[in-house]
């Protein structure tokens, strides 16, 4: 009869922190009109004005990327009276064209200020939010996984030493490959500067963690 192998299961927790090197401007354009074709035309004109604005700020027109586009019918609640009672009914108000875009570039305060100022002056008048992230997410994720492996091995050695056994060969590694968030929460920007911006952005470090399960033999 074969003796069952003794094992130790350890969950390693990996951590990493890195200063953001990339900025993401998320831009939302909204156009509304009672006619479908007119709403679409206004939406298209807004995008063109926005592209012209980023080119003026020193970017390429193709740097502006579409991430979502939607056209929907819009209804409003209209109040009517039935005697002393108030009733509401939905009334067609027109079509709304919504276009979500993003502009991603290497973080530098002067470049970010120039982009915000130029977009603010554009007649497109988009809603804008600013977020900071990392250009090379794979390298960042690698740091987390290496940290998790070191953490698991350290824990395993401590527990084995305390239990009077030796850590044997690694039998199995189990990892879920979940997506790690590597972007700070976006901050809405007010696009109505009276003069040139001179914001000195100091983005917080991107911090993330993940877990990996390891199984070793013990001797």
Residue 160 and residue 87 in one domain: no
**Cβ(119)–Cβ(128) below 8 Å:** yes
Residue 122 and residue 159 in one domain: no
Residue 167 and residue 91 in one domain: no
**Cβ(197)–Cβ(117) below 8 Å:** yes
Residue 214 predicted with pLDDT over 80: yes
CB atoms within 10 A of CB 126: 22
104's CB contacts (< 8 A; 6+ apart) are 22, 23, 24, 25, 63, 65
15, 146, 179 from 211: Cα distances, Å: 9, 11, 12
- Structural domains in the chain (count): 2
Residue 190 predicted with pLDDT over 70: no
Residue 35 and residue 105 in one domain: yes
Give the tokens for residue 113: 């200020």
Residue 152 and residue 112 in one domain: no
Q: Environment class of residue 116 by beta-carbon count within 10 Å: exposed (0-12), middle (13-18) or buried (19+)? A: buried
Per-residue pLDDT, averaged over 126-154, amounts to: 94
Average pLDDT, the chain: 88
Residue 142 and residue 218 in one domain: yes
Label residue 43 by pLDDT band (50, 70, 90): very high
Tallying the residues shown for the chain, one arrives at 219
pTM summary value: 0.79
Domain that holds residue 128: 22-133
- Asked if the structure places residue 51 within a domain, the reply is yes
Label residue 169 by pLDDT band (50, 70, 90): very high
- Asked if the structure places residue 191 within a domain, the reply is no
Q: Return left, alpha or beta for 58; rule: phi > 0 is left, psi -120 to 50 is alpha, else beta.
A: left
106-127 confidence digits (pLDDT tens): 999 999 989 998 998 888 889 9
């Amino acid at each position: 009869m074969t003796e069952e192998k003794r094992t130790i299961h350890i969950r390693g927790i990996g951590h990493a922190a890195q200063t953001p090197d990339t900025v993401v401007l998320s831009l939302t354009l909204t156009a509304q009109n009672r006619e479908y074709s007119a709403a679409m035309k206004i939406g298209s004109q807004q995008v063109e004005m926005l592209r012209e604005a980023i080119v003026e700020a020193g970017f390429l027109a193709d740097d502006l990327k579409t991430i979502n586009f939607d056209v929907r019918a819009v209804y409003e609640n209209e109040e009517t009276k039935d005697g002393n009672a108030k009733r509401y009914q939905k009334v067609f108000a027109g079509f709304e064209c919504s276009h979500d875009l993003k502009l991603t570039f290497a973080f530098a305060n002067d470049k970010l200020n120039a982009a915000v100022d130029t977009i603010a002056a554009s007649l497109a008048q988009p809603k804008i939010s600013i977020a900071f992230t990392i250009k090379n997410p794979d390298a960042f994720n690698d740091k987390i996984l290496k940290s998790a492996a070191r953490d698991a091995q350290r824990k395993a050695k401590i527990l084995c030493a305390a239990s009077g056994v030796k850590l044997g060969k690694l039998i199995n590694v189990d990892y879920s490959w979940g997506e790690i968030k590597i972007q700070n929460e976006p901050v809405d920007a007010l696009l109505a500067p009276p003069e040139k911006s001179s914001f000195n952005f100091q983005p917080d470090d991107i911090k993330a963690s993940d877990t990996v399960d390891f199984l070793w033999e013990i001797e």
